[in-house]
Amino acid sequence: DAGITQSPRYKITETGRQVTLMCHQTWSHSYMFWYRQDLGHGLRLIYYSAAADITDKGEVPDGYVVSRSKTENFPLTLESATRSQTSVYFCASSATRPSYEQYFGPGTRLTVT
Amino acid sequence: TQLLEQSPQFLSIQEGENLTVYCNSSSVFSSLQWYRQEPGEGPVLLVTVVTGGEVKKLKRLTFQFGDARKDSSLHITAAQPGDTGLYLCAGDNSGGATNKLIFGTGTLLAVQP
């Protein structure tokens, strides 16, 4: 199906474990983004990518790693999960600049115990 | 520091009432967007405003961008239960240099039938 998908939709993990959240888009959009959404903070940008092999930090990158070897995929890895990383994570994409609209995936709800 | 402040944070109204949500900043934005997010889903774009003083209408929703491009408002006329959701404003303060957006903290609207 066309669009932007995230997997898994729900994940429970333990403190210290490595977790990878997947994001896949079928539009060949240049830009991809990872956000976390927490009550009282809205959406905060973790990392973004302007194209394959080009990534940059956002507002809250500590504890996260990204890669983008292919245009359509943008995985987010928590190298050693902490309880403060319990959140809902959204992936988004947008077309080549200038573009105003970001298309969001359905989100991954991550709980770190 | 939150660059985009939304008010009110929560709003519960009866069907048929009118309401206004505000999005304010001390920074100038080259464009500003409004998204609506329903439970368990990612945000979906409602509108983009790019010109100071611009007014856009989308059925019962009216969006306005401030003359100085530092603030915006969303007015809903005769609210319906289907309008229930989290409303997010988001702005580009990079002058169009990137596709990154800064999101406000959101306004959670509940319309009671």
Does the beta-carbon distance from B40 to A48 stay under 8 Å? no
Nearest alpha-carbon partner for A68 in A40, A91, A98, A44: A91
Q: What residues in A contact B42, CB-CB < 8 Å?
A: 90, 92, 104-107
pLDDT at A1: 57
Q: What residues in B contact A54, CB-CB < 8 Å?
A: none
For the stretch A53-111, pLDDT in tens is 999 999 899 999 999 999 999 999 999 999 999 999 999 999 866 556 899 999 999 99
> What is the number of other CB atoms lying within 10 angstroms of the CB of residue A88?
16
- The residues facing A94 across adjacent strands are A31
Nearest CA in chain B to A92: B42
Lowest mean pLDDT: which of A85-94, B15-24, B80-89, B95-104?
A: B95-104
Q: Which two tokens stand for residue A14?
A: 């333990």
Quote the CA–CA distance of B24 and B37 in Å, as a whole number: 19
Which 3-state string (H, E, C) describes B22-72? EEECCCCCCEEEEEEECCCCCCEEEEEECCCCCEEEECCEEEEECCCCCEE
pLDDT at B1: 53
- Give the residue-averaged pLDDT of B8-37: 94
pLDDT at B2: 58
Please indicate if any CB of chain B lies within 8 Å of the CB of A44: yes
Nearest CA in chain A to B93: A100
Does the beta-carbon distance from A42 to B96 stay under 8 Å? no
Please indicate if any CB of chain A lies within 8 Å of the CB of B77: no
**Domain limits, chain B:** 5-112
How far does the CA of residue A107 sit from the closest CA of chain B (Å)? Answer: 6
Who has greater pLDDT, A35 or A1?
Answer: A35
Does the pLDDT of residue A10 top 90, yes or no? yes
Q: Which CATH architecture has domain B5-112?
A: Sandwich (2.60)
Does the beta-carbon distance from B100 to A33 stay under 8 Å? yes
Nearest CA in chain A to B1: A41
- Give the residue-averaged pLDDT of A44-60: 92
Please indicate if any CB of chain A lies within 8 Å of the CB of B104: yes
Compute CA distances A11 → A22, A24, A77, whole Å: 12, 17, 13
What is the set of domains in chain A, with CATH numbers?
4-112 (2.60.40.10)
For the stretch B40-66, pLDDT in tens is 899 999 999 989 999 999 999 999 999
Does the pLDDT of residue B9 top 70, yes or no? yes
- Give the residue-averaged pLDDT of B20-45: 93
For chain A, how big is the Rg over CA atoms in Å?
13
Lowest mean pLDDT: which of A3-17, A20-34, B84-98?
A: B84-98
Does the beta-carbon distance from A90 to B43 stay under 8 Å? yes
Does the pLDDT of residue B108 top 60, yes or no? yes
